[in-house]
């Protein structure tokens, strides 16, 4: 069953089309990576799916209903977003931030409509190794810890779909891997559908089932990492020369960059 | 959470009652606190019957008809302004926002001054005319300030303060012009520019109270929403908040509170800046605490300021706005300075 359906999506800024006739669908529990050069419309695509930016043509269907037909709270119970910069530098304690994820479940008196909220939050804190940080203000935490708090907040939203916007940009490799593992585990246990804008092609290849390549606002290709992470495609999209090899553990493609002036595409193919 | 709320609220309510008694007791004739407490308790149904009056009628007159209305008005105006300040700061994510620095107070005072100049203050809708017109000019001012300050969908602190100052001086000039042009009503208009609680009977307290009660209920029930604003508007929307609607409601309610206060007591600056900040320093950033405590402590702050205004120079009373500016302006400068230092610190961090 498809969780997200995007059909003929077009978004204009002035006369420029930042997104042009995009079609794809994501089935429940799938992990879709969105890759492409800077300015290709990746973040805008996420903003239209999350409903904070309107669209000019086409439609976006989330779990059988158009995204604009949802109320804000209703949509937040269905779909959560984790931004690149995660949680801003504010003095709220970690536990309060994670509880903010419960906002869409509160009625007008501020009571949580589900009974096991306390347990949900406790489990998330434990799972993300945040127990000892519960009362620490987030502005005193390291980047990696803060991004775990951001993940905790979206987990508390108990969504069916998770949108990630370059979530590992500001993290060192240890925290990058830790973060992606946490997302992957969560996705497996709860069958969460994930759409992630990724910069790091190797990380994308390790975790994504399929990739969507955006170029100048159009969907250049959709396919598995094996199909798309080839020197030819990478050159076409990013204009860099690369060599691709299989990962020794899983066999998924891993990209190595080549030095020097970047010559034409034909030379890149012979590895 | 509820334990902390109860603790802080209890403590600040005790402070409020003590302040009220002290302020009622101090003046040209000083009255003992116990006597004031008993005069007041005597007025409460059921409880009153246990107290036998042993005070002079003069004392009772002073307490009930002279001092109490004024002190209570100070309490209500202070609460309203602080509450408005807390709401502005929350929605605009800006620690320097308050009814005065945003120019909303000046905007409201222009509306009030125009009405008084033409002698229209009770036309149209009776006692609601002044607050209603002050609200409209206040919200118009807020809109202009926000439009001026907006840069790419964000409202940077500096440009917000700048546009607030621009509007303030322009509108201040309008009020000053009206004051100069007016012959018989000079004193009454002049009064708005400095703020004062003097010579206001019970009726004014009664006009303001409903605004405060409704404003408090709306802003307090929105405290959780104000907390979400701290995540940034986009993330707040992702968390299920109807950002535009919340913003509109909060700004309108805060402006209404300001306008109601200004239409009764004139322009009193910095209350909405100083009080929520002090609370934030003590309790942390949670608006579920900041909102109710700002309402209580705003009242306490203004009652003390008014006490200073009417007693420090003996018989001569100084305008209340001057007292709050003496406290508030240096505090504002300190916040600006700290803001600057924090930004410099962040930039260094970014360069590394």
Domains of chain B: 2-342 (1.10.3470.10)
B60 and A CB contact within 8 Å: no
Q: Give chain B's residues under pLDDT 50.
A: 349-352
CB contact under 8 A, B237 and A100: no
CATH number of the domain that A84 lies in? Answer: 3.40.50.300
Same domain for A40 and A109? yes
CB contact under 8 A, A103 and B241: yes
Same domain for A132 and A81? yes
Q: Which domain holds residue A239?
A: 229-271
ipTM, 2 dp: 0.88
Same domain for A48 and A135? yes
Residue A109 confidence (pLDDT) above 80: no
Q: What is the pLDDT of residue B348?
A: 52
Which chain B residue lies closest to A70 (C-alpha atoms)? B240
Same domain for A201 and A155? yes
Give the residue among B64, B98, B73 at the shortest CA–CA distance from B205.
B73
**In Å, what is the CA distance from A5 to each residue of A8, A170, B159?**
10, 30, 42
CB contact under 8 A, A90 and B284: no
CB contact under 8 A, A76 and B232: no
Q: What is the pLDDT of residue B349?
A: 44
Same domain for A144 and A246? no
CB contact under 8 A, B238 and A110: no
Q: What's the mean pLDDT when you consider all of chain A?
A: 91
Query: Considering CB atoms only, which of B235, B241, B286 is closest to A72?
Result: B241
Same domain for A139 and A254? no
B188 and A CB contact within 8 Å: no
Which chain A residue lies closest to B230 (C-alpha atoms)? A90
User: Closest approach of chain B CAs to the CA of A76, in angstroms?
Assistant: 5
CB B319 within 8 A of CB B32: no
Q: What is the pLDDT of residue A264?
A: 56
Question: Computed from CA positions of residues B193, B197, B201, B207, in that sequence, does the dihedral angle turn out positive or negative?
Answer: positive
| E strand intervals along A98-203 | 161-165, 193-197
A42-92 residue pLDDT tens: 999 999 999 988 899 999 999 999 999 999 999 999 999 998 878 988 999
d(CA A156, CA A122) in angstroms, rounded, equals 10
User: Which B residues, 199 through 228, put their C-beta within 8 Å of a C-beta on chain A?
Assistant: 221, 224, 227-228
CB contact under 8 A, A103 and B240: yes
Q: What is the pLDDT of residue B343?
A: 64
Contact list in B for residue A81 (CB cut-off 8 A) is: 235, 238
User: Closest approach of chain A CAs to the CA of B238, in angstroms?
Assistant: 6
Q: What is the pLDDT of residue A114?
A: 77
DSSP state of B318: P
Same domain for A204 and A266? no
Query: Considering CB atoms only, which of A77, A88, A91 is closest to B284?
Result: A91
CB contact under 8 A, A90 and B239: no
| E strand intervals along A198-252 | 210-215, 218-223, 242-246
Which chain B residue lies closest to A95 (C-alpha atoms)? B1
CB contact under 8 A, A101 and B228: no
Query: Considering CB atoms only, which of A90, A101, A137 is closest to B239?
Result: A101
Same domain for A165 and A271? no
B149-192 residue pLDDT tens: 887 666 776 788 888 889 988 998 898 888 888 766 556 677 66
B241 and A CB contact within 8 Å: yes
Lowest mean pLDDT among A208-217, A223-232, B304-313: B304-313
Q: What is the pLDDT of residue B117?
A: 81
Same domain for A157 and A236? no
CB contact under 8 A, A90 and B231: yes
Task: Give the contacts of A177 (CB within 8 A, at least 6 positions apart).
Answer: none
CB A211 within 8 A of CB A26: no
Query: Considering CB atoms only, which of B224, B231, B237 is closest to A52?
Result: B237
Domain count across chain A: 2
CB contact under 8 A, B239 and A88: no
Same domain for A57 and A76? yes
Same domain for A158 and A238? no
Residue with token string 């009625």: A107
Would strands A31-35 and A16-27 be described as parallel, antiparallel, or unpaired? Answer: unpaired
Q: What is the pLDDT of residue B338?
A: 77
CB contact under 8 A, A104 and B240: yes
Give the residue among A88, A135, A86 at the shortest CA–CA distance from B230.
A88
CB contact under 8 A, B284 and A83: no
Model confidence, pTM: 0.87
d(CA B329, CA B344) in angstroms, rounded, equals 23
DSSP state of A165: E
Same domain for A171 and A84? yes
**A270 falls in which pLDDT band (50, 70, 90)?**
very low
Could you write out the DSSP letters of every residue in B248-314? HHHHHHHHHHHHHHHHHH----SHHHHHHHHHHHHH-S-HHHHHHHHHHHHHHHHHHHHHHHHHTBT
């Amino acid at each position: 069953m498809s969780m997200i359906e995007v059909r003929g999506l077009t978004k204009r800024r002035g006369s420029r089309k930042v997104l042009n006739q995009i079609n794809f669908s994501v089935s429940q529990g799938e992990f879709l990576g969105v890759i492409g050069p800077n300015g290709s419309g990746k973040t805008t695509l996420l903003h239209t799916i999350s409903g904070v930016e309107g669209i000019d043509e086409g439609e976006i269907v989330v779990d059988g209903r158009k995204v604009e037909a949802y109320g804000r709270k209703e949509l937040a119970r269905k779909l959560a977003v984790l931004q690149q910069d995660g949680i801003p530098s504010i003095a709220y304690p970690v536990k309060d931030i994670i509880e903010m994820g419960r906002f869409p479940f509160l009625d007008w008196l501020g009571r949580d409509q589900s009974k096991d909220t306390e347990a949900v939050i406790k489990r998330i804190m434990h799972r993300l190794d945040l127990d000892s940080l519960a009362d620490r203000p987030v502005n005193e935490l390291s980047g990696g810890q803060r991004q775990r708090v951001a993940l905790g907040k979206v987990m508390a939203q108990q969504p069916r779909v998770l949108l990630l916007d370059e979530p590992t940009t500001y993290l060192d490799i240890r925290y990058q891997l830790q973060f992606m593992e946490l997302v992957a585990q969560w996705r497996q246990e709860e069958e969460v559908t994930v759409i992630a804008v990724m910069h790091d092609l190797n990380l994308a290849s390790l975790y994504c089932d399929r990739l969507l390549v955006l170029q100048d606002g159009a969907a250049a290709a959709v396919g598995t990492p094996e199909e798309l992470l080839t020197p030819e495609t990478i050159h076409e999209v990013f204009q860099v020369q690369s060599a691709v090899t299989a990962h020794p553990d899983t066999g998924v493609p891993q990209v190595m960059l080549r030095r020097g002036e970047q010559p034409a595409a034909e030379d890149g193919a012979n590895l | 959470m509820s334990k902390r709320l109860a603790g802080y609220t209890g403590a600040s309510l005790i402070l409020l009652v003590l302040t009220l008694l002290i302020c009622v007791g101090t003046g040209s004739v000083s009255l003992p606190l116990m006597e004031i407490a008993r005069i007041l308790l005597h007025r409460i149904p059921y409880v009153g019957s246990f107290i036998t009056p042993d005070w002079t009628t003069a004392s009772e007159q002073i307490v009930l008809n002279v001092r109490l209305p004024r002190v209570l008005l100070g309490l209500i105006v202070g609460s309203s302004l602080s509450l408005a300040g807390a709401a502005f700061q929350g929605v605009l994510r800006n620690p320097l926002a308050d009814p005065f620095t945003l120019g909303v107070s000046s905007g409201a005072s222009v509306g009030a001054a125009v009405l008084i100049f033409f002698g229209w203050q009770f036309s149209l809708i009776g006692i609601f005319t002044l607050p209603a017109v002050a609200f409209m000019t206040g919200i118009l001012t807020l809109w202009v300030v926000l439009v001026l300050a907006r840069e790419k969908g964000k409202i940077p602190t500096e440009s917000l303060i700048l546009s607030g100052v621009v509007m303030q001086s322009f509108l201040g000039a309008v009020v000053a012009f009206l004051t100069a042009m007016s012959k018989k009503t000079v004193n009454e208009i002049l009064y708005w520019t400095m703020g004062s609680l003097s010579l206001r009977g019970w009726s004014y307290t009664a006009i303001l109270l409903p605004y405060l009660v409704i404003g408090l209920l709306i802003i307090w029930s929105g405290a959780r929403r104000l907390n979400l604003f701290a995540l940034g508007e986009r993330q707040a929307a992702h968390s299920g908040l109807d950002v535009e609607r919340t913003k509109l409601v909060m700004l309108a309610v805060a402006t209404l509170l300001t306008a109601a206060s200004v239409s009764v007591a004139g322009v009193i600056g910095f209350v909405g800046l100083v009080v929520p900040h002090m609370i934030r320093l003590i309790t942390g950033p949670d608006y579920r605490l900041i909102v109710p405590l700002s309402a209580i402590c705003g009242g306490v702050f203004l009652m003390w300021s008014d006490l200073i205004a009417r007693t420090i120079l003996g018989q001569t009373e100084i305008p209340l706005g001057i007292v709050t500016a003496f406290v508030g302006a240096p505090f504002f400068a300190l916040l600006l300075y700290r803001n600057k230092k924090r930004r410099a610190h962040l930039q260094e961090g970014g360069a590394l």
